[in-house]
Structure formats: structure tokens, C-alpha cells
Amino acid sequence: MAARLNLREVTLHFGGVKVLEDVSFDVEPGVILGLVGPNGAGKTSLFNCISGHYRPTAGSITIDGTEVVGLAPSRLARLGLARTFQHPALHLDATVLDNVVLGGHTRLPGGPVSWSLRLPHTVRAEREIRAEALALLDRVRLRHAAELPADELSHGLHKGIELCRALLSKPALLLLDEPAAGLSHAEVEQLIATVRRIREEEDVTVVVVEHHMGLISALTDRVVVLDHGRKLMEGTAAQAQSDPRVIEAYLGKDAADDVA
């Protein structure tokens, strides 16, 4: 079931550097939210706070009402959060299929002892997870590459592998960090269609950080715009693209004055 995400006054300081200041917004279940802003706005830092890689200096982050600040990424995975990264973290010497299968580790029954003993219920679960991994590779048109080493595929295809790995964990909340970076126009169109289908079929909430405004416009229900670590505005992608504050943040005051 799709998760609800709530942020309240999330603040992040590194020494005297203010990276995020009092960021608050809500993401309702099943919504695709875009997190956008110019370089250095704090988007990836906020993602790192949500996914447990950074601990905010102050503020609250809840998933379906559960406070998650201070929880490790492994614990968050068990609460239904999955994330991709701007630069996919794959085992390049392993096959594409084996990379995807890693996303199902939180679903294996028992623990390290039963896994090492290869107990029947563990073997059955592994077989089911591999079948699901192949089905996901079908969905992103990578089934043909399942047994190839990951390093034989392009950067753009690595994005597809990482997306499949995230989906194999059966997330309720999916964070996508610049999924269109390095993709061709055709690959971006395929990505948009894939994420839309995932939202409908898997009942998942999606938050996406992206510079590709065509993708943001085509994919998201709402956007939150950050600038210098603060929330600048919240609304639809169309509202953001016509907002003088957003135009000034991206292009400078002169451009914003022209719009106004």
C-alpha cells in the first residue's frame, strides 16, 4: 500500500554551513512528487535525510506516521522505503539479474543461519524472487541482458537495473534521484511510461529529484521547489515554471522581471 510522507521543519547543518532550513511538505499516498531546484538547492541532501543517509540537525520525517529520523537505511527498507541514486551503485562484475535480486534481500524469510543452511523455505523464496526479478527486467526491456555482466551495459541501462532492484523490495515509498540523467530522449519517454505504470500497478508513492523539466512536467502530480536549502514554493509543475520566484532562482532576477 502506498505510503504517506510528512516532513516538518527539516533542518540540516554541516558545521556552520546551512544546507537545509525548515523544510516542510506532505506527500499523500499514491502521489508522484517532483523535488526540483537549481544546483546546490539541497535536493539530494533532503533525499539523504529521508532515506537515512543523513541525520537532520532538527525536524521530523514520518512515513505513515512513524518517525524515521535516526533510523538506518536497512531499517527504512523494512518500512517500505526504496531509493535509487544519481550514480547507480551496482556490482559491475555481477550479472544484471544478480544485481536486481539483491533488492529482494529484505523479503527473505529467517535470517543468516537459515540462508546459509539453504533451508527449503529459503530456497523457495529465492526462486520466487528471481522470477520476479526477471519479470521486472521484462518491464524495462532488459530481459535479454539478464545474464550479462552489468559492466557491459551503458550508464542509461544501469538506471533501469537499479530501478528494478528498488522495485523488487516491494516499496511503499520510492525515491528516484535524477533517474533521467544520461538518458536519451527515447529512454526518458520510456522511463516516464514505466514510472506511471509502476505507480498504478504497484500502489506506490514516488518522490523524484530531477533537472529534466520535461520529465517533471509529464510525470509529476505536484512539485516542491527548493532554493538555497529552503522551500521556495509548492504546486503543479506548470505553476512552478511560471512562478517569478522560481524563474529568478534558475535564471536570475532579470529573467523573473521579464515574466512579471
Please give, one letter per residue, the 3-state secondary structure of the chain: CCCCEEEEEEEEEECCEEEEEEEEEEECCCCEEEEECCCCCCHHHHHHHHCCCCCCCEEEEEECCEECCCCCHHHHHHCCEEECCCCCCCCCCCEHHHHHHHHHHHHCCCCHHHHHHCCHHHHHHHHHHHHHHHHHHHHCCCHHHCCCEHHHCCHHHHHHHHHHHHHHCCCCEEEEECCCCCCCHHHHHHHHHHHHHHHHHHCCEEEEECCCHHHHHHHCCEEEEEECCEEEEEECHHHHHHCHHHHHHHHCHHHHHHHC
The model's pLDDT over 62-98, given as tens digits with 9 standing for 90+, comes to: 999 999 999 999 899 889 999 998 888 888 889 999 9
Domains of the chain and CATH, by start: 5-80+171-259 (3.40.50.300)
Q: Give the distance from CA 162 to its chain's centroid.
A: 10
**Mean of the pLDDT values across residues 19-48?**
95
Radius of gyration of the chain (CA): 19
The model's pLDDT over 230-252, given as tens digits with 9 standing for 90+, comes to: 999 999 999 999 999 998 888 66
Q: What is the pLDDT of residue 217?
A: 93
Residue type, 205: T
pLDDT band at 41 (very low <50, low <70, confident <90, very high): very high
pLDDT band at 259 (very low <50, low <70, confident <90, very high): very low
Mean pLDDT of the chain: 89
Among 9-13, 16-20, 22-26, 199-203, name the one with the lowest average pLDDT. Answer: 199-203
Residue 134 has pLDDT above 70, yes or no: yes
**Mean of the pLDDT values across residues 1-8?**
96
How do beta strands 32-36 and 205-209 pair?
A: parallel
pTM for the model: 0.88
